[in-house]
Amino acid sequence: MSDNLYPVPEAWARHARVDAAAYERLHAQSLSDPDGFWLEQARRLDWIVPPQTAGDWSFDEADFRIRWFADGKLNVAANCLDRHLASGGGETAILWEPDDPKEEARRITYLELYEAVCRFANVLKAEGVKKGDRVTVYMPMIPEAAVALLACARIGAIHSVVFGGFSPEALAGRIVDCESRIVITADEGRRGGKRVPLKANVDAAQKHAPVLEKVIVVKATGGEVAMQPGRDLWYHEAAAKVSADCPAEPMDAEDPLFILYTSGSTGKPKGVLHSSGGYLLWAAYTHEVVFDYRPGQVYWCAADIGWVTGHSYIVYGPLANGGTTLMFEGVPTWPDAGRMWQVVDRHQVEILYTAPTALRALMKEGDSYVTSTSRKSLKLLGSVGEPINPEAWRWYHDVVGEGRCPIVDTWWQTETGGHMITPLPGATALKPGSASMPFFGIEPQLVDGDGALLEGATEGNLVIARSWPGQMRTVWGDHERFFQTYFTTYRGKYFTGDGCRRDADGYYWITGRVDDVINVSGHRMGTAEVESALVLHDKVAEAAVVGMPHDIKGQGIYAYVTLNAGEEASEALRKALRDWVRTEIGPIATPDAIQFAPGLPKTRSGKIMRRILRKIAEGDVSSLGDTSTLADPSVVDDLVANRIS
């Protein structure tokens, strides 16, 4: 279908770092001579001790290990800051756009960022933080969030960022899991004109996190907060007492850089752990090649720092490359649905990277918000977080980019550290909705349910057959769970949890999760996590949660709830349960639909048949499949009759 193929624009083929021929050559080389390829690439970083070895790994149980550049030493913050000072200390590192467009933007040079990071690092040291300690970061989208991460990296502390939209309970769980005795937060955050009580949430979290000893508070809004003497300190007061000079700690390439909690198919979020050397190389290299980034260009990744996209593509990738990274405090729809395009014009953004859910939300407000802006600065568009539906893709391409800008639809995961399957703008003809081709060093495979390799044009489960530098190294505190989760479903291979189709041209099309993870507005949510929150409510006996199609969010959350004997279903209780989940986890986990169900479809061994629940939630009740193995097939009729549409 040629009208569905968007060829590489000629200028891109000529000027981009990687054209189609180079892609073929480099990808082949990255697989045939991985050590040579990656040792060469490693030279893009500034090493204290350059590595002599590249990958050292095995996905087999007997000698399971993942190591990259293990004999090299470096410091991540020095790579993001110090090495740019001589030639580009005056260049803009962070361009900060505040929530309220009437306020002034902030421009922070590399030299200023360097000094701020050194100071913050010295404050952490003064509070007793040492190499290997965990530091929880619960911050709004202000430059100090990036400063905090880099300050941790500078002294070798491991940061664990918790999204500012998570509740005190969710925050507490993450603090306890990684035994973090210190939290960096702000008085309040701001989003779309509203205030988020971050410091108050930390106070509430401490009740469930006795390990917490110190809270460093950045004054962001000036809002009233209670400070507990001995535990809480204002950042600006502490910073005034320390020097702006802090040597960077030499780190082994394999030393941990950060933990980031993500949802899986079991109840408890996993602490995904990333390394220093391999991770930074992956973030920097993909950022440069996939966005064809050149220093001087204004680049905007419109994610939150609380997600992996913010880590790799707001902070580490762009700063390692000496780039200008735009950080946006606000939301795409406030004060109106034209905000993103106004920001693009105001800062002359050349590269924009956002999520399909934001595009769908803006698309429904009509084209005039877009067309009333110039957007002439835009050269390249990116998409991440979930499969992009072809309709949103075309709107992004035709209306936002006026047909001028290629779209890189980047498939990757918290676990992968950076892009895995993605077009390269100068190399890959685009197909709307396809993440297209593997990045260098990536060997994707499709397997059937038994693990048999599927060849040619086909559909199956997506696995990655070999390690890559940006791969996560372990689940914090539970190495066994790391192995079990990712390497036992299909022996010897990394299982992504995604389904995928490969077409006759070898393009990959991600079809969505095949496990019990749902993707709500590009954010991963474990169904078991929402279920655990629901059953904590004293009126709930049992809950089963599945995804349902949602116009804007991609997937919404559909919960089936069985009440305790004697409890009455009511609208008030439905609302109470929604609020309950909001406070237990956070607004992103709020169920879109709650169906009260006297019984759930279970097999005779007591397993809930989610396949049936998914079909009912999707409204696809004519093809429920075989229900004969159910202990009580009649529950299905009740579920169908009372489904929420």
Q: Which residues bind ligand 6R9 (CB under 6 A)?
A: 262, 307-309, 383-387, 409-414, 435, 496-498, 510, 512-513, 519, 524
Q: How far is the CB of 6 from ligand 6R9 (least distance, A)?
A: 16
Residue with tokens 């940061």: 159
Which residue, 124 or 420, has its beta carbon nearer to ligand 6R9? 420
Encode 25-92 in three state secondary structure.
Answer: HHHHHHHHCHHHHHHHHHCCCCCCECCCCCEEEECCCCCCEEEECCCCEECHHHHHCHHHHHHHCCCE
Which residue, 435 or 545, has its beta carbon nearer to ligand 6R9? 435
Ranges of beta strands (E only) in 364-426 are 380-383, 407-409
d(CA 288, CA 324): 12
What is the rounded end-to-end Cα distance, in angstroms, of the chain? 35
Q: How far is the CB of 432 from ligand 6R9 (least distance, A)?
A: 12
Which residue, 299 or 596, has its beta carbon nearer to ligand 6R9? 299
d(CA 233, CA 328): 26
d(CA 89, CA 110): 5
d(CA 541, CA 562): 6
Q: How far is the CB of 523 from ligand 6R9 (least distance, A)?
A: 6
Annotated binding site for ATP: 385-387, 409-414, 498, 513, 524
d(CA 583, CA 585): 6
Closest by CA to 547, choosing from 307, 263, 325, 141, is 263
d(CA 510, CA 267): 25
Distances (CA, A) of 455 to 157, 255, 444: 44, 38, 11
Which residue, 209 or 272, has its beta carbon nearer to ligand 6R9? 272
Contact between 119 and 77 under an 8 Å Cβ cutoff? The reply is no
Which residue, 185 or 383, has its beta carbon nearer to ligand 6R9? 383
DSSP 8-state secondary structure symbol assigned to residue 312: I
Q: How far is the CB of 98 from ligand 6R9 (least distance, A)?
A: 26
Which residue, 203 or 409, has its beta carbon nearer to ligand 6R9? 409
Contact between 192 and 337 under an 8 Å Cβ cutoff? The reply is no
Cis peptide bond N-terminal to 335, omega within 30? yes
Q: Is the dihedral of CA 494, 497, 501, 506 positive or negative?
A: negative
Which residue, 272 or 363, has its beta carbon nearer to ligand 6R9? 272
Annotated binding site: 191-194, 309, 385-387, 409-414, 498, 513, 521, 524, 535, 537, 540, 582
Which residue, 124 or 407, has its beta carbon nearer to ligand 6R9? 407
Q: How far is the CB of 500 from ligand 6R9 (least distance, A)?
A: 9
